[in-house]
Amino acid sequence: MEQKQENFEQQLQFGIDGEKIVAENFMQQGFFILPVYQFDVNTAPVLFSTNKQYILPDMVVFRNLECAFIEAKRKRQYVKWKGKIETGICQRLYDHYMQIHKNTGLDVFIVFVQEEEEPTGIFYLNLCTPGRKWDGRNHKGEIKEKPLYLWETQYLKQL
């Protein structure tokens, strides 16, 4: 998987701009948005319980009696594996978001703002959609990336 080289500030701004795109899209559909801002770039916002804390998705959306967590991901390219096209999030975040879903009963949706590589657009899926774990190793067993949780693009729905 080839990554474009950018500094941290450029990557952070790219992601923040993606969150704005997703929030504006939900607001245009009549949702209210509760953003979960990252006040300190060195730590992520968390949901606390008596003995655990979980990293929070980017926002909570509300409309009528609907309520869900939303994680926004802005992407330039897909992952190609065994003839399939996939996209995903880091495994660590997937694990935290799954615990949030299990402990709150609220759905967690991942929204992908896909740019440059086709298919482009804004897509979403429920975190509970079956996917696959990738340990970050290439075919030689060398660690190349952080572990990811990936979904095939066939499961993505246009927002």
Backbone angles phi, psi at 82, to 5 degrees: 50, 45
Report how far Cα 26 is from the mean position of its chain's Cα atoms.
15
pLDDT tens figures, 65-108 = 999 999 999 999 999 999 999 999 999 999 999 999 999 999 99
Residues 6+ apart with CB under 8 A from 2: 77
pLDDT score, position 3: 46
Maximum Cα–Cα distance for the chain, whole Å? 51
pLDDT tens figures, 118-146 = 999 999 999 999 999 999 998 899 999 99
Q: E-strand spans in 2-78? A: 32-35, 46-48, 53-55, 59-63, 66-75
pTM, two decimal places:
0.87
Q: What's the pLDDT band for 2 if we cut at 50, 70, 90?
A: very low
Residues 6+ apart with CB under 8 A from 153: 78, 85, 86, 87, 119, 123
Report percent pLDDT > 90 for the chain.
Answer: 75
pLDDT score, position 66: 93
pLDDT score, position 38: 60
